[in-house]
Amino acid sequence: MTTAKAYAVQTKTSPLEPWSFERRDVGAHDVQFEILFCGVCHSDIHQARDEWGGSKYPMVPGHEIVGRVAKVGPHVKKFKAGDLVGVGCLVDSCRTCDNCKEGLEQYCLNGGSGTYNGFEQDKKTPTYGGYSNVIVVHEDFVLRVSDKLPLKAVAPLLCAGITTYSPLRHWKIGKGHKLAVAGLGGLGHMAVKFGVSFGAEVTMLSTSKSKEADAKKLGAHHFLLMSDADAVKKATGTFDFILDTIAAEHDYNKYLALLKTSGTHICVGAPPTPAQIRMFTLIGRRKSLAGSAIGGLPETQEMLDYCAEHNIVSDIEVIDIKDINTAYERMIKGDVKYRFVIDMATLK
């Protein structure tokens, strides 16, 4: 066993504080790596504070993990000591169900193993995430990371990146499409970058006037302030797709009205409260309301390779781990440009 240093929450109301626990010994197919950077996702906040229900404590959040391989098991073929690697939201799955066989491990029918706040496939060993200095993961759930990109800015690709890349690919969004991205945070800024890279005409739907210049800098062609009633009215029926990354309760009907006939509103944001949808908003123009979760292992690798080829990374603010609680408060206020990344060298 290896003792891992970490930051954990002990209850849903406690702050993140130093904690330590044991990582398993390196098994035949395992990769052990030193965590160098870990992104901070809004899902970390939802789970640390038990906003979705069912949280398990102590909890070490973090599922945007990058680092350097320290040790590999004797049967590991894909990695060797010194390689740069990443781990996202999954550390294992059943590997036998129809979805796993298709590389859609995020939809494992027997329950995948989340990187934290979950269990290993024995359904009893808790998993602990990336706000820690070391991790041991089966090689099948470890991703290759290019040394061409700045590693700290790659970390958020492991969740914010794949969560926006996957639905854009699934719905084949690109040239000829008008895409609106709702919410300019960690996921939203990656959605803008991918949408633009795939050739779509991208509009940022934001509640923050102050983010207009940034949205344009990120590549968005247009910016719509959702509190500007006239502009919102003018945009009625104009988008083929909305990719909704909003983390808090909001009125979906207001956004659905912006879709064209047969348009699709894709939810990736996961506010804790159930939404009220007026069915006539959908029925009246044959609109679809859809959802999407992260991405499977093959697609996550494809996304990382795409980013290396097209020089796409996250816009980040690097923080010391002792400032993680302040970072959470700032994220809740929408005050992050556009992803906090913890420098794990600050975990002493």
Spatial separation of the C-alpha atoms in residues 68 and 83, rounded to whole Å: 6
Q: Which of residues 227-246 bind ligand NAP (CB under 6 A)?
A: 245-246
If contact means CB under 5 to 8 A according to the sort of partner, which of Zn ion, ligand NAP, none does residue 268 touch? ligand NAP
Q: Does 97 sit near Zn ion (CB under 5 A)?
A: yes
Those residues with Cβ within 8 angstroms of residue 155's Cβ, 6 or more apart along the chain or in another chain: 37, 38, 39, 64, 65, 66, 86, 314, 316, 341
If contact means CB under 5 to 8 A according to the sort of partner, which of Zn ion, ligand NAP, none does residue 93 touch? Zn ion
Q: Which of residues 130-149 bind ligand NAP (CB under 6 A)?
A: none
Q: Which of residues 62-81 bind ligand NAP (CB under 6 A)?
A: none
By CB under 5 A, name the one of 8, 35, 41, 297 that touches Zn ion: 41
**Of 21-29, 107-115, 147-155, 328-336, which segment contacts ligand NAP by CB under 6 A?**
328-336
By CB under 6 A, name the one of 72, 134, 136, 159 that touches ligand NAP: 159
Q: Which is nearer to Zn ion, 159 or 257 (CB)?
A: 159
By CB under 6 A, name the one of 86, 183, 263, 296 that touches ligand NAP: 183
Q: Does 151 sit near ligand NAP (CB under 6 A)?
A: no
**Of 45-53, 109-117, 260-268, 318-326, which segment contacts Zn ion by CB under 5 A?**
109-117
Q: Which is nearer to ligand NAP, 309 or 329 (CB)?
A: 329
- SS3 (DSSP) at 55: coil
Spatial separation of the C-alpha atoms in residues 206 and 208, rounded to whole Å: 5
Spatial separation of the C-alpha atoms in residues 338 and 336, rounded to whole Å: 5
If contact means CB under 5 to 8 A according to the sort of partner, which of Zn ion, ligand NAP, none does residue 185 touch? ligand NAP
Residue least distant from ligand NAP (Cβ): 185
Q: Which is nearer to Zn ion, 11 or 110 (CB)?
A: 110
Q: What is the 3-state secondary structure (H, E, C) of 186-233?
A: HHHHHHHHHHHHCCCEEEEEECCHHHHHHHHHCCCCEEEECCCHHHHH
Which phi-psi region, left, alpha or beta, contains residue 24 (left: φ > 0; alpha: ψ -120 to 50)? beta
Spatial separation of the C-alpha atoms in residues 130 and 59, rounded to whole Å: 11
If contact means CB under 5 to 8 A according to the sort of partner, which of Zn ion, ligand NAP, none does residue 154 touch? none
**Residue 69 one-letter amino acid:** V
Q: Are 12 and 5 in contact (CB under 8 A)?
A: no
Q: Which is nearer to ligand NAP, 61 or 186 (CB)?
A: 186
Q: Which is nearer to Zn ion, 43 or 208 (CB)?
A: 43
Spatial separation of the C-alpha atoms in residues 220 and 224, rounded to whole Å: 11
Scanning 30-77, the segments in alpha helix (DSSP H) are: 42-48
Q: Which residues bind Zn ion (CB under 5 A)?
A: 41, 43, 93-94, 97, 100, 108, 110, 159
